[in-house]
């Protein structure tokens, strides 16, 4: 079954406390020079073919439900 992935990330100007906590933990474990921003990944199974119309529909769903577009950005990718 075809799958579409929606990746949701905090916008660059938004503070990311979870990402900051993970970055600090990695540093304490000896992983220097890494910066983490934590987001969300949604995998959506599609009945039938992944067409531009299906991608647009999923983008609309992401904008209305999956992402808070005030503080998050998203991208829709056919997997």
Q: Taking the CA of residue 46 as centre, how many other CA atoms within 13 Å lie in the half-sphere pointing to its CB? A: 20
d(CA 65, CA 59) in angstroms, rounded, equals 10
**CA 79/CA 76 separation, integer angstroms:** 9
For the chain, list the domains and their CATH numbers.
3-78 (3.30.1280.10)
pLDDT greater than 90 at residue 79: no
pLDDT digits (tens, 9 = 90+) for 4-32: 999 999 999 999 999 999 999 999 999 99
Average pLDDT for the chain: 97
Separation of CA 45 from chain center: 16
pLDDT, tens digit, 9 for 90 and up, residues 47-77 = 999 999 999 999 999 999 999 999 999 999 9
Q: Are 45 and 1 in contact (CB under 8 A)?
A: yes
Contact call for residues 54 and 1 (beta carbons, < 8 A): no
């Amino acid at each position: 079954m075809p799958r579409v992935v929606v990746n949701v990330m905090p916008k660059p100007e938004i503070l990311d406390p979870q990402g900051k906590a993970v970055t600090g933990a990695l540093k304490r474990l000896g992983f220097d020079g890494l910066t983490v921003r934590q987001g969300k990944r949604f995998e959506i199974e599609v009945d039938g073919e992944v067409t531009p119309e299906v991608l647009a529909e999923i983008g609309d769903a992401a904008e209305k439900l999956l992402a808070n577009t005030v503080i998050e950005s998203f991208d829709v990718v056919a997997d």
